[in-house]
Structure 1
């Protein structure tokens, strides 16, 4: 989806009233949570994007730095990691929405110029210039709840009422975003499961998920293989698929409209089945059983 002079600009999200988007994770990092650097190379990252699209991903989320504690990465190096992937995928997969997972405004700006449609900001506009960048580029932005600075440990996070506090924080983020000139149609909210939260906090978020729909905006659920799944079931990350799918099935009818996942094919099938059960989608058919 390019003109003679390159990408035509960020595309808006489709109507998500009765539709769920599956967002595939592609990390160009050597220390990623699940794949442990499997897609760190440029060609490996591009191939992973193609594989995700073939499995039905609606969005591909490209990241160059994880949120978890670690040494800071120079902005120029992060740009070198993510922008070539975004550019290649925009050229080669024109029908897929592209997202950049970053908390740096310069990285977001460069990625949108290369073809990204979405800025997935895990810090809730904390980074200098991020709100202005989203407003200027017209990209959709994910507003995520987190307490700590990225790459910084936050031992023993404390909340009096985690659901109420996250609800208020997300409302405040919406106010900040719209005040900066970002239209509501370009906003997605992420309550931040596991981000500066214990497993008990995240389970409370999941039980109260509907409360985060109050602003009338789509919710992104980033639950795939996370520690809330592992600690709840007593399983390592390699064995958390079923728990992740169960969590997805829980949050969709409670407002989740984007699922950020490692396991695309399985999640697409689970999401489509849930859409049918909710009356949002017709069965693939033909329906011949006992006919």
Structure 2
């Protein structure tokens, strides 16, 4: 399985690491650290050197309780960074946004992938993504970031998340998107309680079997904080365990803050798999 964007090919026969680069003042883990485009480029370069194949750039925090960001403010945050990275680094660039105009301008500036926590449900987003003709990651989220963790409920979390993602993927295809451009994200921590997150993690294989690449984003998530009683700076072991569990079930893209450590996990897994 592979992804294609512009003239770039991303081979997913081995899991790939997506490094998180938040150019926001209020993201839950690294808010404010990389708001300057030169600081952002330096961080991106370090992640690429460590083995990240994709750099995921976000200009609006989606942590629980996060405030909305105005369109122009989001553009001002992300476009200069995309241009800088596109000019200086050899990697895929992902734009983490739900806004149609940000998608359009980010792709024009050099983004290779659209990563949308709202699965293209905002006004104009679906048509913008189809027109951009780049791979798109569709994520499941119950509710909105500001209120999603108030009291999320499911009758069957695996089946409901699966149904939602399949419906969104089908709608994308019906509107002209290439099926090979669709990636699925189960949305860990987005409108899920602790047990929902771990049930979904254990069911990753059933999502892989749907025939789309699966992106897993569990890095430093509160699911590990709650389970292990760890603050945000001491969740590395939990994050790596989650990444390994997802990859063992076939997840092809792992979205992380800690690139070097995750690359090591992939190398260990590949060493074992080479004997199968």
Name the TM-score, length of structure 1 as normaliser.
Answer: 0.89
Task: Tell me how far apart the structure 1 counterparts of residues 9 and 230 of structure 2 sit (CA, whole Å).
Answer: 35
Structure having the higher Rg: 1
Q: Within 1, Cα distance between the matches of 2:138 and 2:190? A: 13
Q: Structure 1 pair 128/13, CA: closer, same or farther in 2 (3 Å)?
A: farther
Task: Say if 2:59 and 2:74, in contact at 8 Å, map to a contact too.
Answer: yes
Counterpart position of 1:182: 177
CA shift at 1:179, angstroms? Answer: 1.0
After superposition, the Cα gap between the structure-2 partners of 1:220 and 1:13, relative to the gap in structure 1 and judged at 3 Å, is farther
Q: CA deviation at 1:149?
A: 2.9
Change (3 A) 1:256 1:190: same
CA distance in 1, matches of 2:138, 2:7: 18
Q: Indicate the SS of the match to 1:57.
A: coil
Alignment length (residue pairs): 271
1:260 aligned partner: 255
Among 84, 91, 116, the alignment partner of 2:87 is 91
Task: Indicate whether 1:131 and 2:126 are aligned.
Answer: yes
Q: Retained in 2: the 8 A contact 1:49–1:60?
A: yes
Give secondary structure in 1 for the equivalent of 2:184: strand
CA distance in 2 between partners of 1:229 and 1:218 (Å): 24
| Residue 104 (str. 1) matches residue 99 (str. 2) | yes
Q: Deviations over 1:145-200 (max 9, x none)?
A: 01213444451000011011111111111101111111111111001011100111
How far 1:126 sits from its partner (Å)?
A: 1.0
* CA drift at 1:271: 1.2
Residue 186 (structure 2) pairs with residue 191 (structure 1) = yes
Contact 1:24 1:261 in 2 (8 A): yes
Aligned to 1:38: 33
Asked if 1:165 is matched to 2:160, the reply is yes
Q: Secondary structure at the match of 1:223?
A: coil
TM-score, structure 2 normalization: 0.94
Give the distance between the partners of 1:10 and 1:138, measured in 2 at CA: 8
Q: Secondary structure at the match of 1:14?
A: strand
Instruction: Give, in angstroms, the shift of residue 10 of structure 1.
Output: 3.6
Q: Distance in 1 between matches of 2:220 and 2:149?
A: 21
SS at match of 2:183: strand
Q: Find the aligned partners of 2:136 and 2:198 in 1 and give their Cα distance.
A: 25
CA contact (8 A) 2:145 2:190 kept: no
Tell me, yes or no, if the aligned pair for 2:217 and 2:255 is still in contact at 8 Å: yes
Q: Name the Cα RMSD after superposition.
A: 1.6
